[in-house]
Structure 1
Amino acid sequence: MATDIELLELFREELKLCKVSTGQVLIVLSEGTTRADYARAFLGAATLLGAEAFQINLPPRTKMGIAGEVGRTPLAGNRPAIEALKAADIVIDLVGLLFSHEQNEITASGTRMLFVHEPFDVLKKMFPTQQLRQRVEYGEALLGRARTLRVTSPHGTDVRYEMGQYPVMTEYGFTDTPGRWDHFPSGFLLSQGNDGAVNGKVVLAPGDIVVALRRYVASPITLTIERGMVTHIAGDGLDAELFRGYIESYNDPRAYAVSHIGWGLNHLARWTHLSTTRQGDSEIGVNGLAYYGNVLFSLGPNTELGGTNDTACHMDIPMRGCSLYLDDTLIVENGVVVDPAMQPA
């Protein structure tokens, strides 16, 4: 466990990357006693940088939704808190507002937002840099120009996305521009196929990670995709049964919608992390989401990209050893990023 001094020093460096300075207003949004040490350290770090800092602490939920339902937050309907957050320069989100209408409203006002959830050792090991930002933003330009995206793999994946309807979202671990959301730490980028314009087959192979299940795939799961929806889930092993059961438990047909697609660029993230830790509510699983060369396939909500699907079922699936093409230009080859501009120095 980190000491208060270690947290204070790390968070001060993070807030420097976010360009928090004298005269700015920083609000820490928290829930009950969860991450109270993080809240104290962020308030102290902001004060050292000359910002006006205070905390909004919401009553705790009876059910935490990080690993399950997304987009349902204790902030919903709390207009005084929402308006206060909209008036801040930056919000430190210790609650988990991603995919929520409340987050979209707050960032649309120009408030930047930083989501912090991972344990101290992950925050420290994957601490963001300007070089990581440059790699991610280079990828952003490539993905933003693309009109098609194709993913293949030796295991049988071959899926094609028509692109251009949705923006590109980047995550490099800090936010210094108005209205920007980011996740500390991270290191990947993503977008989404046009509505109804994703078709093909995705084969989840041994070693791929189903983040919601906190599990490596051990036996293949084959997803048939037609017009942006998973229409069939095939597989004989426990993995396929768990996958089907998890989605079915939401009783929401929108959970089968194909959501974002992108690739990981953080060489400090480790694919093996899930196997060496006991992840609980203390981790989102950012090592899996961001590890270098993964292709990040997703099902479920798309509100973070401006879409209308706000299903509570979200499935992030970082896949190993895949190849990704933008307009037939090879970007990731068998899990290796090929463009030198996106390779670490």
Structure 2
Amino acid sequence: MVPFSILDLSPVIEGGTVAQSLENSRRLAQEAEAYGYKRFWLAEHHGMRGIASAATSLVIQHVAAGTEKIRVGSGGIMLPNHSPLVIAEQFGTLAALFPDRVDLGLGRAPGTDMRTAQALRRNLDSAANNFPQDVVELMQLMGPTSPEQKVIAIPGAGSNVPVWLLGSSHYSAHLAGMLGLPFAFASHFAPDMLLTALDIYRERFEPSQYLDKPHAMVGVMGAAADTDAEADYLFTSMQQSFVRLRRGTPGAFPAPVDDMDPHWSEGERINVEHTLQYAVVGGPDKIKRQIADFLSITKADELIVSMPIYDMDARLKSVRLFAEARQGLALAA
């Protein structure tokens, strides 16, 4: 059966604190580990009041220290925000602390607004254009050293941290295939190019020292509960969050509401529902059907689920229900 993983943004809820959010990420990872999830990834976003994972490497360390077996990593590090040497040192350090448990997912987007991106990158054009070269440089810095090598990542050299390319368009699909790397598509918020990007990746894949055949992960937003109605209620937090993001007024992660109609216009509803068309939301039977349908159309090798739920106990329960749905699908196969 396809492995399940978790993508977490360390959401800062309305009325909550960053410290609480980071502790909740650790608790969520512990629950995911207990229920057999394969990976727990954290994402780099900047300048967003509702997301506490900006210093992604530090949050990965915090989560990894509270778990024992589950793989931990980035989904992703936005590489153009950093020099490859700095990321090689950070993830080389993580690999030394948590051997054979660390993944490095790389993205090309800024993970923020343009003003904050300018503060991070200084030169936006050159940073984005250098992405393929930076990926190759980073992998070389984490690989074996050579006698003529002048720049060495310490820690980092020889760590061989597994690198994934992340994408929401065709660009990274082409690059991941060309480099022979695993590929993760951000279908949890960018559904339009999912199937064509997967086709491109699989068609263009070149076997490499890292991977002998294509390996694709796909993402969904998820909210599972005892009933469909309860899950729909929990998911209104994510719907509100997307509306606010589209309006340019993002904030702390909102509490769920009984009715979304007062919170969005008809145009906003259509836009958000399109963006979240692959979301898996419902009670046990419904989410099992939705997962089966999604995996059938994507033929994915892994599924990664982001569970943006306001109440922590409900988030933990959703983790359990998704794991049970996977077990049910495995038994039915």
TM-score by length of 1: 0.31
Higher relative contact order (CA 8 A, sep 6+): 2
